[in-house]
Amino acid sequence: MFLFDSAVGEDVQVEDTSGTVNVCGVQVTDDIQVEDSGRDILVGDTLGGCGGNTVGDDLEVNRNSGPVEKFVQDNTGGDELECERNEDPFTASGNTGFREIEDQCVEPPAI
């Protein structure tokens, strides 16, 4: 599933896919959900050429598996950013504007 440089007036929901998931540079009125999927998952990864997304409500990236890196980076949101039970390797950073950030998406404090 590839979604690039678009505006979506509702939700973006990806579930139970075994293929690549790239959500890059998208403005979403409501939620982005990527769940129970595998392989190459990019929900924003500016170093990898996948621009961050703007989410009006929640961004949820949960229970994704597979040996390939999973990124949630440089997204801007409104309400909740939740990342839980994703297999390693998993990276979350540079996400801003969310009212609440939970689980794997919480960045460690700067040293």
Q: For 45-89, write each residue's pLDDT tens digit.
A: 988 899 999 999 999 999 999 999 999 999 999 899 999 999 999
User: Can you give the pTM of this predicted structure?
Assistant: 0.94
Mean pLDDT of 7-29: 96
Model confidence over 25-49: pLDDT tens digits? 999 999 999 999 988 899 999 888 9
pLDDT of amino acid 39: 81
Contact 106/82 with Cβ under 8 angstroms?
no
Extents of the domains making up the chain: 2-94
How far is the C-alpha of 97 from the C-alpha of 91, rounded, in Å? Answer: 18
Cβ atoms of 75 and 52 closer than 8 Å: yes
- The CA–CA distances, whole Å, from 83 to 91, 100, 107 equal 10, 11, 11
